[in-house]
Amino acid sequence: MSLAISPAARDLMDNWLRHARAILGAAEATVDAYGRDVAGFLAFQSQHTGGTPGPDALRTITTPDLRAWMADQRRRGVGARSLARRLSAVKSFYGWWAEREGFDATTVLSMRAPKHQRRLPRPVSEGSARDLIATIGAQDARDWVSARDSAVVTLLYGCGLRISEALGLDAAAHPMSDTLRIRGKGGKEREVPVLPVARSAVATYVRLQPHDLAPGTPLFRGIRGGPLNPRLIAKVMEQARMQLGLPATATPHAMRHSFATHLLDAGGDLRAIQELLGHSSLSTTQAYTAVDTARLLAVYDAAHPKA
């Protein structure tokens, strides 16, 4: 779809995206999302003003202009959470632009996002996590495929990895040591401990799989030897949770949530858990304390029902 954006405004946006990619180390998927969000905003302003505003007009954007865009987004069915993300991208763009050219972007930067209820992580219980891994390890008639799927999910739960981080591991990561260096979102690196059960699961997969795992190639492979598609792990998780009668929230990412929640249950330090998960902000990790509190309240209500 062709968006009505002035060439000068598009050049500005492209320079900002290059900055986000090269200087800030933003992931490609994040850069793409930023580009879509800001391009949509600029296109709306063209429609809103009846022209294609250039940098001079965009620098003097007003609060009513911003509110008109936000109202249009809501009319299109964009939820509060998604609109907050889009506004964040617009603010990031204006913040970079204002710093670069020295103008006052307070109107944009002070605009408040719509309130939305923070969605709490939905972990599975420790027993369910073990059952999921065991069930996944017995799903495929090909031993190496079952071992592969089990190893991936074990890393998600045992090391708190994102699915992209697990599937992004290089074959050189095997044999695994006591720690694993992970490059997460934004290129941020962290070290995570590797439990013996996770090392054993990966070793079993490597021993059974038929492909040449040369350094510089993916550790986890598809049937034909290419990189393993994350949708396949989502599919085996879906099959396993249906067999076990678990809710639809029992996804690959839920295993990472479970890792953090169970560590917190065991007395883990919130700062340490933040480091293990690779969260940039402690406030992101603090969501797990809300999960813990919610579970305690549920137990209390069950034990002490209201009259």
Catalytic residue among 19, 21, 183, 185: 185
pLDDT band of residue 214 (cuts 50, 70, 90) is: very high
Catalytic residue among 256, 262, 300, 304: 256
Tell whether the model's pLDDT for residue 204 goes beyond 90. yes
Write down the mean pLDDT value for the chain: 81
More confident residue, 77 or 301: 77
Determine whether 34 is an active site residue. no
More confident residue, 181 or 213: 213
- Please provide the DSSP assignment of the chain as one string: ------HHHHHHHHHHHHHHHHTS---HHHHHHHHHHHHHHHHHHHHHHTS---HHHHHT--HHHHHHHHHHHHHTT--HHHHHHHHHHHHHHHHHHHHHHT---HHHHTPPPPP-PPPPP-PPPHHHHHHHHHHHTTS-SSHHHHHHHHHHHHHHHHH---HHHHHT-BGGGPSP-SEEEEE-GGG-EEEEE--HHHHHHHHHHHHH--S---TTSBSSB-TTSSBPPHHHHHHHHHHHHHHHT--TT--HHHHHHHHHHHHHHTT--HHHHHHHHT-SSHHHHTHHHHHHHHHHHHHHHHHS---
Determine whether 300 is an active site residue. no
Determine whether 288 is an active site residue. yes
Mind listing the pLDDT tens digit for each residue in 121-138?
A: 577 888 888 999 999 988
Catalytic residue among 288, 295, 304, 306: 288
pLDDT band of residue 305 (cuts 50, 70, 90) is: low
Determine whether 256 is an active site residue. yes
pLDDT band of residue 68 (cuts 50, 70, 90) is: very high
Domains of the chain: 7-109 (1.10.150), 126-302 (1.10.443.10)
Catalytic residue among 10, 21, 253, 295: 253
Determine whether 185 is an active site residue. yes
Determine whether 116 is an active site residue. no
Question: Considering only 138-147, 171-180, 182-191, 226-235, which range has the smallest mean pLDDT?
Answer: 182-191
pLDDT at residue number 226: 92
Mean pLDDT of 46-59: 83
Roughly how many angstroms between the first and final C-alpha of the chain, as a whole number? Answer: 60
